[in-house]
Amino acid sequence: MKKTITIVLILLCLSSVFAKGSTEMAKKEGYPSDLLTYFVAASAGGGLDIVSRCFTPQWEKELGATFKYVYEDTGNTYLMTLNDLNELEDDEFGVVCGMPEAMLGMFQFQDSKYSIDDIAWIGNVYSDANCLIVRLDDNRFDTAEDLIKYARNNRITISTPQALTSANISARIFVDASGIKANVVPYNGGASARNDLIGGHVDVSVGGVSTIVNMEDQVKVIGIFGNFNSVKDKWPNAQLTSEFAKDFSLPDLTAHCSIWTSKKISKNHPEVYSLLIDTFQTAFKSDEVAATLKRANQDRFIEYLGPEETSKNSLGFVETLKKYSDLLDPRKAN
């Protein structure tokens, strides 16, 4: 009898050891690669890169992989990024960090072999309302209302980043809805658009609040296309949409920075897709990442959203693009 009990206990112990080993093996096999290609749909050193560097080290730890950064900053950025993402081999995996609104604009207004159905969302990093930016020494405009009143009688020039950015879309909708006289000029990137504002070549620039948060010695924000002033400590007079759009209406013009992968990866490797979602959330909500974002002065814009909410925001923006398609299509721009 004792011999039988001993054998049973030994078998139970072995079973436990094997089960533990199987669990650890399954965990290790959860992400079947040592590398993840991290595509940044912008240039190195820009806003997307800065924010990415705040959370990807922790994500690497959670995923147990090394991230290989690839910057897509020439030509049709999002088309190139999606091409590279979808051309990965079946045993290779990658994600994109980018602005969904710009990519969705490409889907809507350019000939593209991709669509929103080819995107598998992982989550949102930050939400950044576009804003009206003027030079610090421009005494004509202290609020968005000042600008509207002036520009309904005097033509102004507004600089924006590239045509399909959410900032350019926001500017064009704002000009049309408010009835001001303005030429909207898309530049080759936000930096050049802001530089021409600072140099006095344009009257106003439209861009994300996060892009100028450290430029209070050169520019001021007078209006925010949103319902929350995340820079009240710097520009307390910046009016929200509800405060300056009194005789006209505007859609939600908030810009986002999100993470996504291809539907090909999510369909062929659902366990990897699930792991990417879970590890991104765990890393992003960690104390280490919170501290890093605060040191980079980006914590005020951070907003984690899961794949479902990120998808919902994107679908809402698609409806805005459709509603204003005649106004926003760069092929029809003056």
Alpha carbons 226 and 26: distance in angstroms, whole number: 45
Question: Is this model's pTM higher than 0.95 or not?
Answer: no
| Residue type at position 55 | F
141-176 pLDDT, tens digit per residue, is 999 999 999 999 999 999 998 887 889 999 999 999
- Which string of DSSP letters, residue by residue, matches 250-315? ----EEEEEEEEEHHHHHH-HHHHHHHHHHHHHHHTSHHHHHHHHHTT-GGGEEEE-HHHHHHHHH
Q: What is the pLDDT of residue 165?
A: 84
Q: What is the pLDDT of residue 333?
A: 58
Does the pLDDT value for residue 27 go beyond 60?
no
Domain range annotation of the chain: 34-127+254-325, 129-244
What fold characterizes domain 129-244? Answer: D-Maltodextrin-Binding Protein; domain 2 (3.40.190)
68-103 pLDDT, tens digit per residue, is 999 998 778 899 999 999 999 999 999 999 999 989
pLDDT band at 140 (very low <50, low <70, confident <90, very high): very high
Q: What is the pLDDT of residue 46?
A: 77
Q: 34-127+254-325: which CATH architecture?
A: 3-Layer(aba) Sandwich (3.40)
Greatest alpha-carbon pair distance for the chain in Å reads 101
Which of helix, strand or coil describes residue 3? helix
Q: What is the pLDDT of residue 23?
A: 32
Are domains 34-127+254-325 and 129-244 of this chain identical in fold?
A: yes
Q: Residue 34 carries which DSSP code?
A: S
Q: Give mean pLDDT, residues 309-332.
A: 89
**Which residues are bridge partners to 128 per DSSP?**
255
Does the pLDDT value for residue 20 go beyond 80?
no
pLDDT band at 19 (very low <50, low <70, confident <90, very high): very low
